[in-house]
Amino acid sequence: MKNYTKFEKTKGGRVELHEKLGLTGSEISINALPAGANIPFVHAHKENEEVYYILDGDGKFVIDGEEVALKAGNVVKVAPAGKRQIFAGDKGISYICIQTKAGSLGEYTAADAIIG
């Protein structure tokens, strides 16, 4: 049995990687919205925080009623209770969203590594 899974994303809107890669500790999605489009609902989470990495384009978040401008290179963390909605700007927007249970990170990077 291999210790890895590989998936290749082609063009298109949203892909959730938990199914494609068999993820067990997080949900990661790759997303693209065309110019002027938006996620058609406001949402929050019960337990999961989200980290959004803007790959390309521009747009805005509305989080708890506050507008947050977005452009390529921005990274935004949203706490579980944050009511959020994302809107694409004139260029459209593509981003990665990583969703994990808030407060669950025990070990990370070198502290979790087994060398050799």
Could you write out the DSSP letters of every residue in 13-74?
A: S-EEHHHHHT-SS-EEEEEEE-TT-B-SS-B--SSEEEEEEEEEEEEEEEETTEEEEEETT-
State which residues form the domain around 58. Answer: 24-102
Task: Write out pLDDT tens, residues 62-83.
Answer: 999 999 999 999 999 999 999 9
5, part of any domain? no
8, part of any domain? no
Task: Write out pLDDT tens, residues 17-62.
Answer: 888 898 888 999 999 999 999 999 999 999 999 999 999 999 999 9
- pTM, whole model, 2 decimals? 0.89
Domain count, the chain: 1
